[in-house]
Homo-oligomer: A and B are copies of this chain.
C-alpha cells in the first residue's frame, strides 16, 4: 500500500491533469516560457540549492563522474531554460484527429489524440530532467509526477518550485508538476504501484530500476532499455562509408544507448575491411571472434566472450564478428540484439530490403550511423526517452508518445439491433 502522503500527491497530480488536458496550447506555452524566464531570473537560487546537493555528494565520497552529472552551473541552467522554450515552440499534439470514418449505419467515428493524464517519471541524478520532463509532460497536456534521486533532492525542489510558479503565472494548476520529496527506496516501490493515479510510468535508470519495475509495478509503464546496437558491413558495402559509419557510431558519444556496441562483417570483405576499421578505431578496445582475430591480430584484438556479444559497453569497446552471410548477420542480431537500433552498410538493394524486413528493432538503419536514433535527429524537437519495447511507443519518444487516443462516436439516436 502506498503511504497516504504519496497517494495524496498522486491525487493532486490527477486533479491537475484533468485541467491540463483541456488547457489551451497558448496557456501551456505561456507556462513553459514563464518557467524558462523564472529559471534564468532565479538562477542564483537554483545554483545555491544545487550547491547543497553537490557538497553533500562530495562529502559522501561520490565519484566525480556522478558529481559532474549532479552539478549545475549558469550555462546548464540557461540550457534548461532554452529547453523549455524549445518545447513551447513545438506543435501541440493534443486534439489531432488521427483518423475518422462513417459507418454504414451513419454513425460517425473519429479518433482524437488526448493526453495520457499523469505521467510518472523515476530518474537519477541529473537535475535538468526535472525541467526537461516537466516541459514535455505539460506541453502534451499531462501532469508530471516526478521522483528524482535523493542526491538531487534540493536541486529538484528548487527547479520544481520555479516550474510550478510558471504554471500558476499562466493560470494553470501548480500541481501540473508534483515532485515526490520522500525519496526513500520504499517510496520508489510505492510510486510504481499507484495504479489509477499514474497513467504512464517512464523509468530513466539502469538495470536495477528496470528490474524493480518488472517485479513491482502495477501502473502501466514504458521501458527505455539498453541499446546493444550492431553495424553490419555487407559483402556489397562501400568500405570507406563503412569505416566512417562504424567510427561515428562507436566513438562520437560512446556512453549513450544509440552508440554501436558490435561490428559484424561479411566474410568476403573482412580481410580488406577489418584492418582498416581497426586502424580507424584507434583507442577503441576490440574483442572479437577467431576469424576477426585471425585478420586483425591478437595484439590488437582480444577474444570476445559470449557475454561480450550481449553487452552494452557504453565505452570505447567494441565486439567484432565475421559472418558468412546476411542470414548469419540477421541471426546474430536476433540472438544478441536488444531491439534498439541495427544498421547495415551496403550498396545492394536486395540486401538492404532483406535487412530492413528481417531485423526486429525499434530502428533499422541503412547506410547511416546508429547515432541518429534520437528524438532531435528524428525531428521530434525533444525526447523523453527511447523505448525498446513494442507496445505504445517504440523508438524515440517525443510529445506524440506522451498522448493516447479517445474514440468520439456521434449518432442521431443510434441503437444496436
Contacts and interface: CB of A to CB of B under 8 A. Distances in A.
Contacts of A252: 415-416
B416 A18 contact: no
Interface in A275-308: none
Contacts of A395: 405, 407
Range for the number of chain A residues in contact with chain B: 35 or more
| Chain A interface SS verdict (over half) | mixed
B22 A413 contact: no
Contacts of A408: 356, 363-364, 366
Contacts of A392: 391-392
Contacts of A215: 218
Interface stretch (A123-131, A179-187, A237-245): A237-245
A22 B358 CA distance: 7
B22 A390 contact: no
Interface in A121-144: none
A362 interface: yes
How many copies of this protein are present in the complex?
2
B390 A117 contact: yes
B18 A360 contact: yes
Contacts of A368: 107, 409-415
A334 B103 contact: no
Given A220-B390, A392-B392, A378 B363 contact: no
Which of A116, A358, A371, A394 is packed against the most chain B CB atoms within 10 Å?
Answer: A394
A82 interface: no
Contacts of A86: none
Contacts of A363: 406-409
Contacts of A22: 357-358
Nearest to A219: B214
Nearest to A216: B215
Contacts of A21: 360
A153 interface: no
A372 interface: yes
A413 B245 contact: yes
A390 B200 CA distance: 8
Contacts of A412: 367-368
A405 to B, nearest CB: 6
21 contacts: A21-B360, A107-B368, A199-B390, A200-B390, A220-B391, A245-B413, A356-B408, A362-B406, A363-B407, A364-B409, A365-B409, A365-B410, A365-B411, A366-B410, A367-B414, A368-B409, A369-B415, A372-B414, A390-B404, A392-B392, A394-B404
Given A244-B415, A364-B406, A366-B408, 8 more contacts: A18-B334, A18-B360, A21-B360, A220-B390, A352-B410, A360-B406, A365-B411, A372-B414
